[in-house]
Amino acid sequence: MIERGMSERRALRVMDMSASAWRYLPKVMLNWAHGRGVTLLLIEPGKQNQNAYIESFNGRLRDECLNEHWFTSLTHAHTVIEGWRCEYNEERPKKVLGGLTPAQYAKQLKKEAVKAVTMQHGL
């Protein structure tokens, strides 16, 4: 977890923590969330299906972006990940949208709305 505004040096120091230090991470995360008014919804033990969507997303992010790049700095990581995020959210066709990209789907909805208004007013 790297918060925006965290210095690159601090982020690297967090990533280089010894294995024994990781046991303190849950408390740090809870304190971070509480301090920012974030409610954590935890997955019940043995109920991974409660988190299937995010697990699928995490797998795609890992396979398509994180495993494909060797980041040389926090800025480099931010740039590459942001590019992947934009492509994933804006350019990639989605099954749930009938195979359209979000932009194509939005354009289709707009056309349908204009058509419905036109028909409603008899224009």
Given this model, what pLDDT does residue 67 score?
94
Q: Is the dihedral of CA 20, 81, 97, 116 positive or negative?
A: positive
Torsion of CA 21, 27, 31, 33, to 10 degrees: 100
Q: What is the 3-state secondary structure (H, E, C) of 2-60?
A: CCCCCCHHHHHHHHCCCHHHHHHHHHHHHHHHHHCCCCCCCCCCCCHHHHHHHHHHHHH
Averaged pLDDT in 10-residue chunks for the chain of 123 residues: 46 50 74 87 76 84 94 94 90 90 90 85 67
Given this model, what pLDDT does residue 38 score?
85
Q: What is the pTM of this model?
A: 0.52
Q: Is the dihedral of CA 94, 100, 101, 103 positive or negative?
A: negative
Q: What angle do CA 101, 76, 10 make, to 5 degrees?
A: 120
- Give the separation between CA 104 and CA 86, rounded to whole angstroms: 15
Given this model, what pLDDT does residue 15 score?
47
Say if residues 39 and 33 touch (Cβ distance below 8 Å): yes
Say if residues 105 and 97 touch (Cβ distance below 8 Å): yes
